[in-house]
């Protein structure tokens, strides 16, 4: 069973669309009637005043409908007004033809063709279409009774008009059915999307709750481990393990903080701290950590960031972007080179982190920026990671108004290219943000 709001939404959308298209249809009809009048005038100049009077009444009816169908057609009044207007326009034409001894068949067949096209374009439904057609057939009968001319075998004409009525009513029915099905599919997709968003939100809330609770004990572990490392009384054989405890606890704290930041980033609650800073100075501590991490590997670190290069952005966020890219480069490069370079570009700043590591297969390149998406080849599953580093980078880059792209060759290395704008985007500079 369909949830009730779907049919409500469907009716609302149908109403809006119908009202809009009715107005366009009526305008087209006015143009068509004017062209017909000019032709009629030229062929039958003697009908002049009657023709003018007929068209004037018709134009008034059509304009009145144009003004009154501003409300959606589902509004009962609008629907009745359009129905009455259509039947009266048709009646006016019938009366005119009866008066001037005109040929009713062509007029009504033209009118029926109009309604046929209307059934395909205006989604007012089969019931409405049927009512219009009944009105047209009634008009035809009245005009004939009033003395209008028709073909030599009136039964054929009647059959032609009845066929038009059936076809356009069926057309309206199928158009409505088709729209209803499309609408139900779209509604199901919207619902699935909402559930997905709710699930992601719940996951982030759980993660940020956990991270929050883990922060305090981790800080205590890290603090004591650092005190112990500096304690001269610590025996030499324990110094290395305690140093490892301190380093790993620090890594974990980073991770916990990142999850908390991510939750804030996703909910748009991460504040922007604008400043102008030297990029080289900002990332210098990362250079030391990276050198430290690469000590046991044959990986050369190339660092090309000009001392004079300044950036106008949020220091913390830029450092986090570079930190994530560098830590990935370290994680996925066992030999060769890791290079970081920066240079002014297009008023802003280019930062490029390149490595000669395991690379990324082309089919995964679009996925690596998705949350919690890890694309670690078999055999490298032992590599630590959570799969949200690049997602975080993507959100941070968007927040600072920059762009990021990646080029990679499996087993040939990866190059991440970040561009920072000359200044932060206005969205983060406005007082409300
Ligand atoms: P992870 O914690 O798994 O590193 P990320 O979001 O940082 O999560 O990265 C997502 C995926 O992108 C990783 O699982 C990895 O497969 C790939 N990736 C990221 N950076 C690199 C890189 N420099 N070299 C090779 N693969 C990378």
Overall average pLDDT of the 210-220 stretch: 86
CA distance 88 to 280: 80
CATH number, domain of 398, equals: 3.30.565.10
CA distance 30 to 21: 14
Overall average pLDDT of the 232-244 stretch: 87
In a domain, residue 116? The reply is yes
pLDDT in tens, 68-108: 666 666 666 666 777 777 777 777 777 777 777 777 777 77
* Ligand 1, atom 4, residue with closest C-alpha: 385
Cβ of 376 less than 6 Å from ligand 1: yes
Cβ of 392 less than 6 Å from ligand 1: no
Distance 170 CA to ligand 1 centre (A): 57
pLDDT exceeds cutoff 90 at 311: yes
Comparing CA positions, the residue from 359, 340, 368, 334 lying closest to residue 413 is 359
The secondary structure of residue 363, as a DSSP letter, is G
Ligand 1: which of 258, 327, 360 to mutate, most ligand atoms within 8 Å of CB?
360
Distance 276 CA to ligand 1 centre (A): 30
Question: Which range in 183-197, 225-239, 348-362, 375-389 is most confidently predicted, on average pLDDT?
Answer: 348-362
What is the percent of the chain with per-residue pLDDT over 90, rounded to a whole number?
29
Give me the pLDDT at residue 76, please. 64
DSSP 3-state of 266: helix
In a domain, residue 129? The reply is yes
Question: Where a domain ends, among 126, 158, 193?
Answer: 193
* Ligand 1, atom 25, residue with closest C-alpha: 359
Q: Give the range of the structural domain holding residue 383, as residue numbers without chain letter.
A: 278-428
pLDDT in tens, 371-419: 777 776 666 656 666 677 899 899 999 999 999 999 999 999 999 999 9
Comparing CA positions, the residue from 372, 257, 369, 365 lying closest to residue 319 is 257
Overall average pLDDT of the 307-329 stretch: 94
In a domain, residue 25? The reply is yes
Domain co-membership, 285 together with 143: no
Mean pLDDT of the chain: 83
Give me the pLDDT at residue 384, please. 65
User: Which ligand 1 atom sits nearest the alpha carbon of residue 413?
Assistant: 24
Overall average pLDDT of the 186-210 stretch: 85
* Ligand 1, atom 20, residue with closest C-alpha: 328
Question: Where a domain ends, among 147, 163, 193?
Answer: 193
- Cβ atoms of 367 and 373 within 8 Å: the answer is yes
Give me the pLDDT at residue 419, please. 97
Q: Give helix then strand counts, H and E, for the chain.
A: 11, 7
pLDDT in tens, 8-26: 788 888 888 887 887 787 7
Question: Where a domain ends, among 160, 193, 226?
Answer: 193
Distance of CA 242 to the CA centre of its chain: 51
Overall average pLDDT of the 220-241 stretch: 89
In a domain, residue 351? The reply is yes
In a domain, residue 306? The reply is yes
In a domain, residue 227? The reply is no
Q: Could you tell me the CA-to-CA distances from 289 to 283, 294, 302, 330, 383 in Å, in that order?
A: 10, 9, 14, 10, 18
pLDDT exceeds cutoff 80 at 368: yes
Distance 358 CA to ligand 1 centre (A): 10
pLDDT exceeds cutoff 80 at 272: yes
pLDDT in tens, 132-141: 788 878 877 8
β-sheet bridge partners, residue 308 = none
What phi and psi values does residue 149 have, to the nearest 5 degrees?
-85, 155
pTM (whole model) above 0.95: no
* E-only strand ranges, 262-375: 274-278, 298-304, 310-314, 335-345, 348-355
Least confident of 152-156, 276-280, 354-358: 152-156
Cβ of 374 less than 6 Å from ligand 1: yes
Query: What's the number of domains the chain is made of?
Result: 2
pLDDT in tens, 42-78: 887 777 677 777 777 777 777 777 676 666 666 666 6
Domain co-membership, 168 together with 297: no
Give me the pLDDT at residue 396, please. 92
In a domain, residue 373? The reply is yes
Structure-token pair, residue 179: 């729209």
């Amino acid at each position: 069973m369909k949830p009730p709001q779907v049919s409500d939404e469907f009716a609302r959308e149908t109403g809006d669309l119908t009202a809009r298209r009715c107005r366009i249809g009526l305008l087209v009809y006015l143009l068509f009637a004017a062209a017909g009048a000019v032709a009629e005038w030229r062929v039958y100049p003697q009908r002049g005043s009657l023709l003018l009077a007929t068209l004037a009444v018709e134009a008034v009816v059509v304009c009145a409908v144009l003004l009154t169908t501003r409300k959606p057609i589902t509004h009962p009044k609008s629907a009745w007004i359009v129905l009455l207007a259509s039947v009266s326009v048709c009646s006016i034409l019938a009366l005119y033809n009866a008066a001037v001894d005109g040929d009713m068949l062509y007029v009504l067949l033209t009118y029926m063709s109009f309604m046929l096209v209307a059934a395909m374009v205006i989604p007012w439904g089969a019931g409405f279409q049927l009512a219009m057609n009944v009105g047209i057939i009634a008009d035809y009968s009245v005009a004939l009774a009033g003395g209008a001319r028709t073909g030599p075998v009136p039964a054929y004409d009647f059959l032609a008009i009845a066929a038009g009525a059936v076809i356009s009513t069926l057309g309206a029915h199928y158009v409505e059915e088709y729209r209803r099905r499309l609408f139900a599919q779209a509604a199901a997709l919207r619902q699935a999307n909402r559930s997905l968003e709710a699930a992601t939100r719940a996951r982030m809330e759980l993660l940020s709750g956990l991270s929050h609770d883990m922060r305090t004990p981790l800080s205590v572990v890290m603090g004591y481990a650092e005190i112990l490392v500096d304690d001269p009384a610590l025996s030499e054989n324990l110094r290395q393990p305690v140093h490892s405890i301190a380093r790993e606890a620090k890594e974990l704290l980073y991770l916990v903080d990142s999850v908390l930041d991510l939750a804030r980033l996703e909910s748009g609650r991460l504040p922007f701290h604008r400043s102008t800073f030297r990029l080289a100075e900002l990332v210098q501590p990362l250079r030391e950590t990276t050198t430290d991490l690469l000590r046991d590997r044959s990986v050369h670190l190339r660092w090309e960031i000009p001392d004079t290069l300044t950036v106008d952005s949020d220091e913390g966020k830029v450092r986090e972007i570079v930190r994530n890219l560098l830590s990935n480069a370290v994680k996925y490069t066992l030999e060769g080179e890791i290079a970081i370079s920066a240079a002014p570009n297009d008023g802003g700043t280019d930062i490029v982190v390149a490595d000669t590591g395991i690379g990324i297969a082309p089919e995964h390149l679009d996925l690596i920026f998705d949350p919690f998406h890890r694309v670690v080849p078999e055999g490298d599953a032992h590599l630590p990671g959570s799969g949200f580093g690049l997602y975080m980078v993507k959100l941070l880059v968007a927040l600072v108004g920059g762009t990021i792209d990646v080029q990679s060759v499996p087993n040939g290395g990866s190059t991440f290219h970040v561009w920072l704008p000359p200044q932060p985007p206005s969205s983060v500079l406005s007082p409300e943000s």
